[in-house]
Amino acid sequence: QSEQDAKKGRYTMSSIATYASAESETRSISRARFAAIGAATVVAATLANVLFYYLGSAVVDYDADFVALPTPGGTITFTVFFAIVAVLVYAGIKRFTGNPERNFTIVAAIALVASVIPDFTYIPTVDGASNGQTAILIVMHVIAAVVIVGMLTKLTGQDNR
C-alpha cells in the first residue's frame, strides 16, 4: 500500500514540507549571517572614520564654526546612516542580481563620486571650512567606501544569495 500511496503523491506533501523547512532554515541562517556581517560593516566603517577623525585633528585644526567636523558625533551619525543604507542596498542587489559583488562595487563607486561632489562645490562656501577640513571629509568618504565594499563583498560571498 505504501507504493500505491507514493504513486498517488500522498507522501509528496511531507517531503515538500521537509524540503521547504530545510530551505527556510538555511535562508534564515544566511540572513542571520548577512545581518551580522552588515552590523559589523557599519561598526567597522564608523570606527575607521572616527579613528581618522582623530588622526586628522592632529594634522588639521577643526574650526568650531565648520558644521561638518565640530565633534566626532557628526562623523558617527553620517557614517552609521549611510553604512546602513549601503548594507540595505547590497542586500537588494545580492537578492535580485546575478553578480552582486560587481554590481554593488559599481553602485558604490557612483555613490562615492556623488558623495564628494558637495565637498568640492558646497563645503568650501560653509563658514569655517578650510581645504584641510575638506580633504578630511573626502578621505572619510573613501575610507567608508573601502570598508563597506570590502567587507560586504568579501565576507558575504557567493553562498548567501
What is the average pLDDT value for the chain, to the nearest integer?
A: 85
Residue type (1 letter), 155: L
Q: List all residues 6 or more positions away from 102 whose beta carbon is below 8 Å from its beta carbon.
A: none
Handedness of CA 54, 80, 137, 93 (dihedral sign): positive
Q: How far apart are CA 28 and CA 34, in angstroms?
A: 10
What is the CA angle 142-81-135, rounded to 5? 30
List, for the chain, all residue ranges whose pLDDT scores fall below the cut of 70: 1-29, 158-161
Contact of 143 with 48, CB cutoff 8 Å: yes
pLDDT, position 18: 45
